[in-house]
Structure 1
Amino acid sequence: MEAALIAFATTAATLSVTVVLALLEFRRRRREAVQARREQIVGRVLDTLERATRAASRAPIVGWWAPNELEYALLLPRLLAELPEQDNAVATWVARRIQHLQAATSRREQVAIGADVAAKVVQWGR
């Protein structure tokens, strides 16, 4: 009888450890996936801001062929679609800053706002 009880206890302990390790691994993979997605979103925002800021820093005539408004218009829906619901405040903030960026009167102001958005998005991503 003792041997059966010891075997049962050993099996129960082994099963418990296996289940706990599986849960911990699941949570670790989930955290990594969330972090990878966040890094991808940050990269996309930075790429868009970089293209638009570079276009804004060129001569005014070149701006006719590089419409920044289109870059921003394409960025925002994608950002809202990819962000988890608890991070909607980030998308709302980026949308507001992009409205300020589009309303900027000088190219220097556009570049400053673009750099600020990029810095804050990187900070959020970390």
Structure 2
Amino acid sequence: MDFLGGFFLVTFILIIFYSNFIFFKELKKTEKKHFKHKLFYLLISIFLPCFIVFIIAAIFTSPALIEMSDLKIDISNNINRVIFGSSILITSILINLYIVKFYLKRISNTKKENEIELIGKE
């Protein structure tokens, strides 16, 4: 692995740690502090970016796309690696931050069992 591959790997790991940091910080604000939510989000934040890498790599290297668009993608070229890596990192960041907001919203919208609803004027 060369410098560029190491840089993308470190950035990819920082994305995972940053999204988990945001999730744990926002989870403290809610009343839910279960270990299962933390573990579930940790697994999502690891497997989802790996899935994104796989899908984008499959799209960029598909023979049908290469024939239709006449693109010559050479992964050994540093410029193409930066473009390819940047597209993966940007989509991973956006999807991880969206999942943080969606999952926290989903957790906090659960009904409380002992909640009393006041109707009318006092």
> What TM-score, normalized to structure 1?
0.32
Higher helix share: 1
Bigger radius of gyration among the two: 1
Asked which structure has the greater RCO (Cα within 8 Å, sep 6+), the reply is 2
> What TM-score, normalized to structure 2?
0.33
